[in-house]
Each structure stands twice: as C-alpha cells, then as structure tokens.
Chains A and B, each alone.
Chain A
C-alpha cells in the first residue's frame, strides 16, 4: 500500500480479554517498529523487527505483550489479559533499514481502550 496501515483504528475491550493489533508496513520495508503512546506522552518504544526476527524487544513492558512478524511483512502485536493501564495508542512504523539515515513512516495507530 501507499503507507503504513494499522487495524483496527479503535478497539474497546474488557479487562482480562485478549487483543490483537495489526500493522501492514510499506512494501519492501524490512524494519518494523511498535510504539505505545499514553495520553499526554510521547511514543515509547516496544519492539522492532528486522525482517522476521525481533531484533530488540526490550521495550515490551511484561510477558503479556508479544509481537510477531512471521513472513517479514505484516506484524501483529498481541496483548493477553488486558489491564486498564494498557489503554493507549499503539503506533507502528516501518523503514527501509534500521539506520538513522532512513526515514521511519508511521501509521495512524490503534487506540486501545480497556474498560
């Protein structure tokens, strides 16, 4: 597609439920990133992929969070046993490489609300 696509745009779920957030990066971009943006804050890094492998998952807050990118393109962020504190906008970005001289393109995010 023309840009990074994230679905759904908004998701409301009950506390304790499982959710999946999808990111479809720009075609040909090998690097894919997930960030979480809480209300009134800047985005915080969660994980990034170089191809199919998670190159750095140091930002995942706990073992309820998991992300996959099985074919090196679409990625899914999975959250188990959701808590109200997980409510945030989850942003995905992709770039041609992981170097700083390549631009990261962001999607419009998924706003997750846990009630």
Chain B
C-alpha cells in the first residue's frame, strides 16, 4: 500500500516571498503520478500541479514548481511570489499508474500568507 506523508501541519509566508511545502511517499510501484491539490475554505479540491514519475524534468505551472526526487521519494512544492489567494490547505497525493486509479492523500499543510 502507498503512503503519503506531509510533515508540516502549518506554514506561513509573507506576500511576494517563496515557500516550499514538503511531501514524501512510499511505494513499490515504478509507474505512478504525483499531485499537489489546493483546498480553500470552499472545500473544493483544485489541482495545482502534476508530475509523472517517468519524467525526470520537474513540472512547473506559472508560480508553482516541484522538486521531484524519485530515489528519495520526495515531492516538494515551491510557491514563488506568494499571493494572498494562495492561502489554503495543500495536499500531496499519489496515484498508481495501473488500473488502481484512487488517489492517496497526505494529511495536508495549512499555508498562511501574511502582508
């Protein structure tokens, strides 16, 4: 079974600064996908960024980028130029590459953005 660990229950960043959220996972699979989701108070999970395990290049989406270290099973999220709207819960998630398509989530990191 896969496990996803987020060791930072809360993080704080000043507006316009950069913050990194940590995530580690454990799996015996070689083909899988990793995700970061944002959950604002509205409860809706919003996909921030996705990484395919077979790709060595780290994924980027505008101000969001990841540091994917496959051997270390580490998948951190970097948010640059933080904005007030980035404040939310952030969840790291794992999905196997086969037909078992369920997402396995970490416990989340609450990000606060201060002026």
Q: Do A and B bind each other?
A: yes
Which residues does A use to contact B, with CB under 8 Å? Answer: 31, 33, 35, 40-45, 48, 55-56, 59, 89, 91, 93, 95, 98-101, 103-104, 106-109, 111
Q: Evaluate contact between B47 and A43: CB separation under 8 angstroms.
A: no
A38 to chain B, nearest CB (A): 10
Q: Evaluate contact between B107 and A42: CB separation under 8 angstroms.
A: yes
A68 to chain B, nearest CB (A): 18
Which residues does B use to contact A, with CB under 8 Å? Answer: 4, 32-33, 42-47, 50, 52, 91, 93, 95-97, 99-108
Chain A residues with CB under 8 Å of B104's CB are 45
Q: Evaluate contact between A101 and B52: CB separation under 8 angstroms.
A: yes
Q: Evaluate contact between A100 and B43: CB separation under 8 angstroms.
A: no
A29 to chain B, nearest CB (A): 13
| Residue with the greatest number of chain A CB neighbours at <10 A, chosen from B46, B100, B102 | B102
Chain A residues with CB under 8 Å of B107's CB are 40-42
Chain A residues with CB under 8 Å of B4's CB are 42
Q: Evaluate contact between A99 and B45: CB separation under 8 angstroms.
A: no
- 7 A-B pairs with least C-beta separation: A42-B105, A100-B33, A98-B101, A106-B45, A45-B102, A100-B95, A109-B43
Chain A residues with CB under 8 Å of B97's CB are 99-100
Q: Evaluate contact between B44 and A42: CB separation under 8 angstroms.
A: no
How far, in angstroms, from A48 to B104 measured CA to CA in the complex? Answer: 13
Q: Evaluate contact between A99 and B101: CB separation under 8 angstroms.
A: yes
Closest A residue to B106 by beta carbon equals A42
Q: Evaluate contact between A103 and B47: CB separation under 8 angstroms.
A: yes
How far, in angstroms, from A77 to B1 measured CA to CA in the complex? Answer: 25
Q: Evaluate contact between B101 and A103: CB separation under 8 angstroms.
A: no
Q: What are 23 inter-chain pairs, A to B, with CB distance below 8 A?
A: A33-B103, A35-B103, A41-B108, A42-B108, A43-B45, A43-B91, A43-B103, A43-B105, A45-B103, A93-B45, A95-B101, A98-B99, A98-B101, A99-B97, A99-B101, A100-B33, A100-B96, A101-B33, A101-B52, A103-B47, A104-B47, A104-B103, A106-B45
| Residue with the greatest number of chain B CB neighbours at <10 A, chosen from A31, A40, A100, A106 | A100
Chain A residues with CB under 8 Å of B44's CB are 106-109
